[in-house]
Amino acid sequence: MSAPTMSGLSAAVAVLASLMAQFPDLPAVDVHVSTVFPDQVELSAHSGLAAFEAWREALGIGPGAVVHRVQSGGTTRVLDAQTVFTGIRLRLVGYAEIPAPVAGVGVAS
């Protein structure tokens, strides 16, 4: 097997350029392009879920397609969704801190 080349990432980079042109006003997110998955671009939002939701809506990903999980010992909420955009898989991930419960505050019965 031959080593990956930069040209193998050209489709993913072209999709990134297309996303920037189509959605210039959306919040900036981290972008990951990898030789392991050259047909995928990962967009990740680390400062709450508002950026995730803005991108989810813009990309036409339905709420039912979002997978929710918790990590870091229950302190971080993670939303994960995937779609295809101009032939490239897009993975959208959002991270948000789960606030610690406030002592003495309970649910009314």
Mean pLDDT, each 10-residue run in order, the chain (109 residues)? 83 93 96 93 94 97 94 85 94 91 55
**Residue 95, phi-psi category: left (phi > 0), alpha (psi -120 to 50), beta (remainder):** beta
- Residue 16: per-residue pLDDT: 93
* Kind of pairing between the strands at 67-71 and 40-45: unpaired
C-alpha 105/C-alpha 20 separation (Å) is 44
- Residue 100: per-residue pLDDT: 76
- Residue 49: per-residue pLDDT: 94
- Residue 108: per-residue pLDDT: 53
- Residue 73: per-residue pLDDT: 77
